[in-house]
Structures are given as structure tokens and as C-alpha cells.
Amino acid sequence: MKLDKKYMQLYAVTDRKWLTGRTLEHDVEECLKGGATFIQLREKNMDQASLLKEAFIIKDLCRKYNVPFVIDDDVDAAIKCDADGIHVGQSDMEAGDVRAKIGPDKILGVSAHTVEEAVRAEKRGADYLGVGAVFSTTTKLDACDVSAETLSEICNAVSIPVVAIGGISHDNILELKGTGVDGVAVISALFAQKDIRKATEDLRKLSEEMTLSV
């Protein structure tokens, strides 16, 4: 499916480690109210049944706000809950196999760190790419570093939308200006904040400023 790049503007990735007495549904809704344009459920420490239950809840919420909803890694969960799509990394299921399994109409997101990985993912049916870590992050300890130069090269090499990820905050997002990315994907810049809705509103504005052509 052809994915409009507008959905990449502010891509929120969940991490329940930041929940303090609230539900994930509550925090995701705060992001949606603040202007998040895409939601990925990425929960590394949940059993399948709990993940699926959460997936149904977040999917319904995203539908209410007309925002695409994908699940990280778990293709079966994405199919079972009728998510809008799936996001896979380079060491997960191969992009072409995922595309064959989910069919042409679901969104397929793929993580890429080099031009070669990016071009291959596009050829194998990716609808968008997540590229990073563009800044240092403590959220994903095994994240590879991607330089601003590589990020730009990837954006030039593919025709699908590209979202930058990794350590992006209100303080450094504007450093991505001119790289050609269509937006940013973040975890802690939203979910670790006291006022998630306000953090989302502010980062959305900055992301729009970042992608504005100069």
C-alpha cells in the first residue's frame, strides 16, 4: 500500500516501562490528543495473550483518531487483531516474507541502517523505513548508530517515506533539518514525560518545522 508521508510526522512508539499507575491506553490517547500521527505497539516483555489484549485496545483507540496502528515484530498478533500493519527489524522476519504473509493492503515498516538495507527493504515491499539510532539512546541498548550523512543518503535512495528514530528530543530534533526525513519516531520524548499531551503538541510543531523545506 502507498503510505502518505504525513503519517510519519510524529510517530509514537510505546514502552510500558514508563507507565506509572496509568494504563497504556491512557498514555497513548494523550499522544493522539497531542497530535501523534502514527502509533507502534512495541512491548518486549509481554506474553502473547497480554500483548494481543493490549493490541485490540490500542487498535480501537487509533481507529477513533484515524491514526495508523502497527505492531512491532509480532506478525501473528498484527494479523489476529487486524492492526493496520507491522514493523520489523533487520533481525526479525525478512521483509519479503512478511509482505507475503500480510498481503498487499497492510502497512509494512522496516528498520534500516544502511543504504543497502533501505533499498532492499523497499524492493521487498516496505511502505516506510525507520532509520536510526540517529542520536544516542538508552531505550534500545543494541541500537546501531546512523550518521546524519547516511540518513540523507537513505532518504535520497528510496521513494518511500522515512522516519528517523533514536534519542530524538525537543532539544535536538531541529538538527535533522535538511536530511530529507519525513518525520520522527520517539519513545522517551513522549512516554517518559510528565505531561504527555503537551510534550506531543510541542514535538509535533517542532517536527513540522524540521521537515519544512528550506
For ligand TZP, the binding residues in 140-199 under the rule CB under 6 A are 140, 143, 165-168, 186-189
Nearer to ligand TZP, 100 or 144 (CB): 144
User: How far is the first Cα of the chain from the last one, in angstroms, to the nearest whole number?
Assistant: 29
Q: Which part of the chain contacts Mg ion (CB under 5 A), choosing from 29-37, 59-67, 87-95, 154-162? A: 87-95
The three-point CA angle 127-129-131 to 5° equals 175
Residue 188 interacts, among ligand TZP, Mg ion, none and using kind-specific CB cut-offs from 5 to 8 Å, with ligand TZP
Residue of 2, 13, 1 whose CA lies nearest to 184: 13
- For the bound state, the minimum distance from the C-beta of residue 105 to ligand TZP, rounded and expressed in Å, comes to 25
Q: Which part of the chain contacts Mg ion (CB under 5 A), choosing from 28-36, 90-98, 137-145, 180-188? A: 90-98
Nearer to ligand TZP, 2 or 194 (CB): 194
111 noted as active-site residue: yes
CA distance 185 to 129: 11
- For the bound state, the minimum distance from the C-beta of residue 159 to ligand TZP, rounded and expressed in Å, comes to 22
The answer to whether the CB of 92 falls within 8 A of the CB of 71 is no
For 52-75, letters b (16+ CB in 10 Å) and e give bebbeebbebbeebebbbbbbbbb
- For the bound state, the minimum distance from the C-beta of residue 188 to ligand TZP, rounded and expressed in Å, comes to 3
Residue of 153, 183, 147, 191 whose CA lies nearest to 42: 191
Tell whether the torsion through CA atoms of 128, 167, 61 and 43 is positive or negative.
positive
Nearer to ligand TZP, 75 or 165 (CB): 165
136 is in an annotated binding site: no
197 noted as active-site residue: no
- For the bound state, the minimum distance from the C-beta of residue 24 to ligand TZP, rounded and expressed in Å, comes to 16
Task: Say which of 140, 169, 197, 204 is annotated catalytic.
Answer: 140
Binding-site positions for Mg(2+): 73, 92
Just list the catalytic residues: 42, 111, 140
